[in-house]
Structure 1
Amino acid sequence: MDISSEDYDNYSSAYDYYAFEETPHDSAFPHALHIVSIVIYSLAFILGVPGNAMVIWFTGFRWEKTVSTLWFLNLAIADLIFVLFLPLHITYVATDFHWPFGKYFCKINSFIALLNMFASVFFLTVIGLDRYLFLAHTRFVQRHRTLRKSMILNGIVWICAGIIAAPALYYRDTTEIGNSVTICFNNFHDYDHSVMKRTHTALTLIRFFIGYLFPLLTMILSYSLLAIRIKDKNALGCSKFFWTVFSIVVAFFVCWTPYHIFSLLELNIHHSPEFREWIRIGMPISTSLAFINSCLNPIIYVLISKAFMVHLEASVAEIFKYTLRDISQTGVKSEQRVDSKSNPTVCETVW
């Protein structure tokens, strides 16, 4: 399919930013942003692969399975799947937005990126609701909070995330623009610009409301109630749990908020072309920030624990081992105490 540069500029980028055709009069600033993006993508890959793999190893294979470990296991799986695809993004930016991997990898790569975004925010939302129920509705937890039901709920989260990310498999496409450069882009073009605009707007708003605003409001409510509950209990284990999860949630929304803001601004390109330069500069920054989130959780697990200082001179694997064990032990014991009804209001930590 042949399209003009003007047509391409009207397409949405959906997760990766505009790959505008570079021309000699382009300023050096966007090129500098591309270099920064490559550095950040590479850093996310280098830290994210071993970091998330270690979390998966310890939570999935080394320790006793609990409802809490299952949430964080799936969160790490979502991040690991995404960072494994980062070399494709790195290559795309490094080659001045030439996509050499074919149409199907273009679709799959974008689908994986959106799947990670939705799965991560959904799991964080479920974790917040689960923690609140654990504290506020003990009898309900004793009857229904089982490992089997948790596994089913994890499956439902993955299915929902996959369904909402699925449009990428349909709309992502490749085409050549000038000098045999192949781009990977959202092909909303059906020779009807009004339909293209409506499709772009609908998908952006769905991502914003379902993948950002609704989870944000839900987590603000659940974690606010949780903070009140923890303050009343004044327990060390609760505080460790709260600050770990709070840090993860804050990191997620700090990383993803700029992306959603620029995605909404992107809608105005159809009506206000002056936004084009804002998007051209803002999307690389916001996308890079979103990418780095996939390697932050393992770092947070380390920094939040006293074991990091104690075992600072140990190997990276040992740091993760002691850190995650330090966080997890209280949670495992807490679940066991709740199951035995010996202390039905005890607070469970991260795991």
Structure 2
Amino acid sequence: MMSCAPPSARLAARLNDLPFLCDGGLETHLVFHEGIDLPAFASFPLLETAAGRARLERWFARFIRLATERGVGFIVDTVTWRANADWGARLGYDAAALSRINREAVRFARDLVARYATPDAPILVAGIVGPRGDGYRAGRVDVDEAQAYHAPQISTLASAGVDLVCAMTLSTVEEAIGIVRAAAAVDVPSAISFTVETDARLADGTPLPDAIRWTDAATGSSAAYYMINCAHPSHFAPALTSGDDGWRARIRGVRANASTKSHAELDESETLDEGDPSDLAERTRALRAHLPRLSIIGGCCGTGERHIRAICEGVFAPAPLAGRTTPRTASRATLHGDPT
């Protein structure tokens, strides 16, 4: 039977079923551990070759296997963080080429679902959207312009079959509002992941609580949930201990950096600071005391399998496998109420 609930509500209901794991810092792994040149820090060109696709599959497979071991779900990201007009143009991709590569990224992710999903580790596909500019520097952003700019990529990802679109490393409220509105226009659930500086503020100085409140106020709270990524827990944990609970309840996910360094310090570093996986796991576990709906865990810059394993073991208690009734995959049909 066709569900009458809006897409974001159906996604939220699905996320209530069990925790979901994400991968670590793909781009930093490729650059520092595999020696891969990533112009503009873009990983989507790897989809153009068999060798590149094999690298990507090896990366995601290790985290999917970890989710399977723990009996939790997994969210596989499309490698499209840089696959928008301005960044694509720097890499020689025009509008037609970007549409093609975004669709190919979704096909690749769906192939992973078909290959690796199990009854105890359902997989969602998140269509990843990145900032138009540098996510670590504040810039002037107009809401309507942001919506128009991101709409083509979001529409392509939605029509290609993602379960949701997730905007990562956003540093302005205006761009977040534009992305949420663009997603709502094509009836696909959206998630917003802000990045913060060491003072728990966005690059333009906006406090994290205000960023979430203002985005919700301007969009009718239509984003499915919020996340924090590309910052160490020590940067934003202090902001979670005061104020009302409403904005904190909107945060479902955290993908932290391994390093305690600031964005500016990381930009200048010629080596990878992988931090302390055990400490990162403990700090992530401690966040649950202030984030009542935290159920999506992964990593960002500098994190790999050992970080995510430590976090997973520290945050997600082992789930009993016997008698589980979780469906094999959390498919788009399940999330959107389509008949099967």
More strand by share: 2
Fold-level similarity (TM above 0.5): no
Query: Which structure is larger by alpha-carbon Rg, 1 or 2?
Result: 1
Whichever structure has more helix as a proportion of its residues is 1
Q: TM-score, normalised by structure 1?
A: 0.24
